Structure formats: structure tokens, C-alpha cells
Amino acid sequence: MTSDITLSKSKLTEQELFVQFDDLLNSMPPRATFRHNTPENMAWRGRALALVKLWDSLEAVSFKIAMGNVDQMLAKLSSAAIHEVITTIHQAHTTLQLRVAGPAAILVDHGKGYDFFNEVRKLVESAKINLFFVDRYLEANFVESYLPYVQQGVKVKLLTKDYVTKLIPAVKAFKQQSSLDVTIRVTGQAHDRCLFIDDKICYISGASFKDGPKNSVASLIQVTDAFDEFHNKFQKMWDIGTEQII
């Protein structure tokens, strides 16, 4: 509802604004009933207009006009207005996603370990709520490389397998020093290497997070269209994984 969006642009980070637009898309009225002046639709329209104003005040001018034309009696004009409204919201969502999560694909040459580390570090620092790493080869070096860059209050989940006896002491020592909320679970099912950020963004890594391009070229590819399937798949692995005592 419009009353929910009262923060100025200076108080709402791009990450937070992206999350708002993501929710806006997920709660969008069906196209068949988009024109209906129900309380739910009117609240959604008001929220959409408020968010677009926060995103881009110039875009908001034409967006407001399009919103006003949604109720046009002439079906052709109404349909064009709905199309413009939906397109603008997708534009804002994609623009913010690129800003907060970086490019859709990153390729790091063989041997350039720092470049790989730096790209992953940026993703780690962008998290506001939680981070979920899936990599069977996580160990002590992983803790040193990435956990110091996790923002305060962000919860970290590590789903791994092979080097857990090396990982646990490193995480335990780091938690004692930083009070970071870290949970480790073990599963034999995780063969992919993924990083989920705030349950909204996912990157697949072509190399273990602990090694990067040590042995070959490494890639980081953002999952978009199949995000829900990926997230559900690895969340199920997490749910049945064996939690480790830290």
C-alpha cells in the first residue's frame, strides 16, 4: 500500500528498492483483471507509483500518465497503458538488479585468483539479509577470504561436505570474534557451487569458492529465469542436511 512506502530515496538503499520492486512484480494483478478498481488493485497501483518515483522521478511522470490511462474506456488505449506500466516496472527491476548484483556473467582467467575473490567479495558485501553458499569443498581458507566482508546482521548458511572438519574450527573462531550468525550443514547431494543473496539473487560458480581460477578459467553466472527452481532445489537440500555443531 502507498502508506508502506514513506522513505525518501536517500533513506532507501538500491538493494532495498530492488527487493520492493521484486515483491511488486510478484504481487502484480493478473492481466485479465488489471483494470478492475478493487481495493487490492488500487493499493498495488499506489505502491507501484510510489516506488517508481523513488527509482526515477522523470520516469514517474510518464508512468503516472500511463496509470491514469489504465481506466480508459477504449480498450486499445487501456491495453497500451497497461503495457507501459508493466514494462516500466520490469525496467526498474532489471536496472536495480544489475546495480545491486553486478553483471549477469563474469569470466575470470586462469590464475587470476584475486580477480575472482574480488568479484565474489562484492556479492557478499551486497547482502542485507542472508547469504547461502553451496559448495562441497568449503574449508578454512573460505572463511578468511569471505566472511570478514559479511555485513552485520546478515545470516550465513554454508552447505558443504568434504572439508567440514577444517571448516568448523575456522568458523567457530571467526564467530567468537565477530558474533556472525553462521550455520553449517552437510549433504552428499550438492555437486553444484552456488551463492544465493537475500533469497532474491543467485550466482553459479564454475569453480570452488575456495580455489577460484586456480586450475582453470572460472565463471560466475547469474541465474534469472530459473531462479525459483534453483532456490527450491537447494533449500530442500539444506532442509535435509545434517547440521554441524559449531
The mean per-residue pLDDT over the stretch 59-79 comes to 91
The mean per-residue pLDDT over the stretch 59-63 comes to 94
- Between 25 and 113, name the one with better pLDDT: 25
Query: Which region among 44-53, 106-115, 120-129, 140-149 has the lowest average model confidence (pLDDT)?
Result: 106-115
- Percentage of the chain surpassing pLDDT 70? 93
144-178 residue pLDDT tens: 999 999 998 999 999 999 999 999 999 999 998 89
Question: Taking 80 as the threshold, does the pLDDT of residue 9 lie above it?
Answer: no
DSSP string, 1-51: -GGG----TTTS-HHHHHHHHHHHHHTPPPGGGTT---HHHHHHHHHHHHH
What domains, with CATH codes, occur in the chain? 2-100 (no CATH), 103-243 (3.30.870.10)
Predicted pLDDT of residue 214:
76
Which is nearest to 127 in space by CA: 200, 68, 209? Answer: 200
- Percentage of the chain surpassing pLDDT 90? 54
Question: Taking 70 as the threshold, does the pLDDT of residue 88 lie above it?
Answer: yes
Question: Taking 90 as the threshold, does the pLDDT of residue 192 lie above it?
Answer: no
Cβ atoms 138, 205 nearer than 8 A: no
Secondary structure of 194-214 in HEC code, one letter for each residue? EEEECCCEEEEECCCCCCHHH
Which is nearest to 216 in space by CA: 107, 121, 57, 76? Answer: 107
Give me the residue label for grid cell 480498450.
75
Q: 217: pLDDT confidence band, cut at 50, 70 and 90?
A: confident
Predicted pLDDT of residue 191:
82
Question: Taking 80 as the threshold, does the pLDDT of residue 203 lie above it?
Answer: yes
Predicted pLDDT of residue 196:
95
Question: Taking 60 as the threshold, does the pLDDT of residue 136 lie above it?
Answer: yes
Given CA atoms 24, 30, 36, 39 in this order, what sign does their dihedral have?
negative
Q: 10: pLDDT confidence band, cut at 50, 70 and 90?
A: very low
Question: Taking 60 as the threshold, does the pLDDT of residue 91 lie above it?
Answer: yes
Q: 104: pLDDT confidence band, cut at 50, 70 and 90?
A: low
- Residue 105: helix, strand or coil by DSSP? strand
The mean per-residue pLDDT over the stretch 45-64 comes to 94
Distance (Å, whole) CA 83 – CA 220: 33
